[in-house]
Amino acid sequence: MLAVAFLLSLANGANPIPYSDVWDAIWHRGDNEASWIVWDQRLPRTVIGLLTGAAFALAGALIQALTRNPLADSGILGVNAGAGLAVTVGVGVLGISSINQYIWFSFLGAAATTVLVYIIGVAGGARGANPATLVLAGVALGAVFGGITSFLTLIDPDTFESVRNWNLGSVARTSLDDAKFVIPFLLLGFVLAVLVSTDLNSIALGDDLAASLGTKVVRTRVLTILAVTVLAGGATALTGGIGFVGLMVPHVVRWIVGPDQRWIFFYCLLGGPIMVLLADTLGRVIARPGEIEVGILTAVIGAPVLIALVRRKNAGGL
């Protein structure tokens, strides 16, 4: 599926290219138009889609495991909005303009929002983070941060122009040179996810039982929050907030492989890119010769999924 999504992304756009020509261009780079489109126009955005899809999906799986909340992801819990607000403040107030500056503001916003939402969730439940409170806190903070971001962009036309497409969630605005700066941080997030995967399986049984099994609960939570911060912050710095990837992909994966976080994390690294690449390709096809940003399409697809999940959880008791 990932290979198919990759090929579809390279072949489709304002100027469709036959799959045979795409295949030939991949293996024999030349001076013809097809080769130029594949290598210079579509391959960079496809690689960005691979990276950010994996990062957002894994961040969502980590948050769901940490909070034991199946409705959690970095978008719904306001993490993407917090990262976006921090970057917008950096652009509008401090005049930052490059990805190596975006990334630090994005990390700061993502980390602050993750910790704040988690604190509110813990305060709302007598026995750990309350799932319903986490969702409500995340949605509320996301709305507040989104409103402030919109205000800052509306009062400053230069800021609006700088972050317009970025705020919608787009894989088209970032180059591979920008991605090279973010990749080490994403790799750190992937490694941290591997390190905490087994311990998160124990935490799913409850903090007390996990501690009795030898799991260092506090350390696991800190490392998980750090992983979410670098994954969601790094991906948001590249593309802006692409919502619902971290909600839908872990759910689909969990239906397939079961509750073992090790397998969930592994398949999220495949499922996230598939979703982002297919959404990006669809956005280029249905709005040809223009395009619809991938963040808009994932929201259109993801909102009904969230409603269905909420109804299902309410039926069983959230």
pLDDT in tens, 184-195: 999 999 999 999
Mean pLDDT of 88-110: 85
Q: Which of 52, 56, 53, 58 is closest to 261 using CA atoms?
A: 58
Which is nearest to 146 in space by CA: 97, 88, 63? 88
Assigned fold of 54-311 = ABC transporter involved in vitamin B12 uptake, BtuC (1.10.3470)
Q: Please, what is the average pLDDT of the chain?
A: 86
Domain positions in the chain: 54-311
CA separation for the pair 317, 284 (Å, rounded)? 40
pLDDT digits (tens, 9 = 90+) for 201-231: 998 888 888 889 888 988 998 899 889 889 9
When pLDDT is cut at 50, 70 and 90, the band that residue 196 belongs to is very high
Task: Inform me whether the pLDDT recorded for 128 exceeds 60.
Answer: no
Helical axes 79-89 vs 157-168, angle rounded to 10°: 150
Backbone phi, then psi, for 13, in 5-degree steps?
165, -160
pTM for this one? 0.88
pLDDT tens readout for residues 71-85 = 778 877 888 889 889
* Closest C-alpha to 302, from 242, 244, 251: 244
**pLDDT score of 318:** 47
Query: Is the alpha carbon torsion for 236, 181, 284, 268 positive or negative?
Result: negative
Specify the DSSP class assigned to residue 12: -
What is the per-residue pLDDT for 131?
Answer: 61
Asked if 15 and 37 count as a contact pair (C-beta separation under 8 A), the reply is: yes
Whole-number Å distance between alpha carbons of 168 and 114? 21
